[in-house]
């Protein structure tokens, strides 16, 4: 059985395409996750050792780490558990956005400190990272997250992607936004805010992706499917049911 570590559009897309035995694992961070028609499990494993135990007990033959590029802990755990159990691991990670001309920072804290006083910021770093902006009472924030985040000075929106560029331009104009602060998450789902800020010539303050352990990595669902098929070939015909019953190949 294949274990897909999820919580992203890529994991969902892969699960919608893959047939055979697989399970998608979600952290349980979102209160009302979108409805899914494929096998899922929800909640942490209990660190790398817990994940290794899960892999051993559930006959996991391959791991696809399709978690968000900023979900570093689970990617470290997946790497350690894969090594511990000698299980093939693939990372499915969308390409970064081209950040030429942006102000790029290694951490959320540095990005928070870089915002000029009295700026009107559109902040799209997610619920957990919003905490790092609490000390900036001299800045007005329009925050957007799926679940309620810490309250900052400004307006909080609860919304789920995708968003259109027209709607993002209108939103930024409505709130007289002067800066966009974002993680360099990459991918098309939340790209519209970047296009909107670029169109409005607003400065973009971006947080770089965290460093992750080296792993074989692909950027598309199609390439992940190819990798899964190759794993099936290497493992022999007894696992063909697990690996070869895929649509759209
Ligand atoms: P994280 O810091 O890397 O992980 C924290 C802990 O949550 C992990 O140690 C693990 O607990 C558990 N966990 C994380 N992902 C899991 C998964 N797919 N299945 C089971 N347990 C998981 O992760 P995070 O930044 O809090 O993100 C949580 C989830 O939200 C991820 O799955 C990610 O794909 C998704 N997400 C994150 C972001 C972001 O900006 N960070 C954005 C969009 C979606 P144990 O150690 O107990 O196993």
CA distance 140 to 68: 27
Phi, psi of 71, deg, nearest 5? -85, 75
Sequence-distant (≥ 6) Cβ neighbours of residue 225 within 8 angstroms: 14, 17, 18, 246, 248, 249
* Ligand 1 midpoint to CA 159 (Å): 19
pLDDT in tens, 170-221: 999 999 999 999 999 999 989 999 999 999 999 999 999 999 999 999 999 9
Phi, psi of 48, deg, nearest 5? -65, -40
Closest-lying ligand 1 atom to the alpha carbon of residue 183: 40
pLDDT in tens, 151-183: 999 999 999 889 999 999 999 999 999 999 999
Closest to 215 measured CA to CA, from 90, 95, 88: 90
The continuous run of DSSP H or E covering 59 comes out as none
Ligand 1 pocket, residues with Cβ under 6 angstroms: 5-8, 25-27, 29, 44-47, 50-51, 67-68, 70-74, 77, 126
Tell whether the model's pLDDT for residue 31 goes beyond 80.
no
Nearest-CA residue for atom 46 of ligand 1: 47
Considering the entire predicted model, what is its pTM? 0.91
Closest to 26 measured CA to CA, from 42, 10, 9: 42
């Amino acid at each position: 059985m294949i274990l897909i570590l999820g919580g992203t559009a890529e994991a969902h897309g892969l699960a919608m395409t893959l047939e055979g035995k697989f399970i998608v694992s979600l952290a349980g961070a979102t209160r009302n996750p979108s409805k899914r028609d494929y096998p899922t499990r929800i909640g942490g494993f209990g660190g790398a050792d817990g994940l290794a135990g899960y892999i051993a007990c559930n006959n996991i033959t391959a791991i696809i780490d399709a978690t968000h590029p900023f979900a570093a802990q689970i990617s470290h755990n997946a790497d350690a558990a894969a090594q511990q159990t000698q299980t093939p691991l693939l990372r499915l990670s969308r390409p970064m956005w081209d950040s030429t001309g942006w102000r790029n920072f290694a951490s959320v804290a540095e990005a928070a400190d870089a915002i000029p006083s009295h700026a009107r910021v559109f902040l799209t770093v997610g619920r957990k990272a919003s905490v790092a902006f609490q000390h900036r009472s001299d800045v007005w924030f329009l925050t957007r997250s799926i679940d309620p985040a810490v309250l900052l000075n400004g307006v909080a929106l609860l919304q789920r992607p995708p968003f259109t560029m027209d709607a993002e331009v209108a939103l930024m104009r409505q709130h007289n936004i002067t800066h966009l602060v974002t993680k360099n998450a990459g991918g098309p789902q939340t790209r519209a805010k970047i296009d909107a800020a670029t169109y409005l010539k607003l400065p973009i303050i971006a947080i770089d992706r965290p460093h992750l352990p080296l792993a074989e990595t692909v950027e598309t669902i199609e390439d992940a499917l190819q990798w899964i098929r190759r794993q099936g070939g290497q493992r022999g015909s007894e696992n063909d049911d697990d690996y070869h019953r895929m649509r759209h190949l």
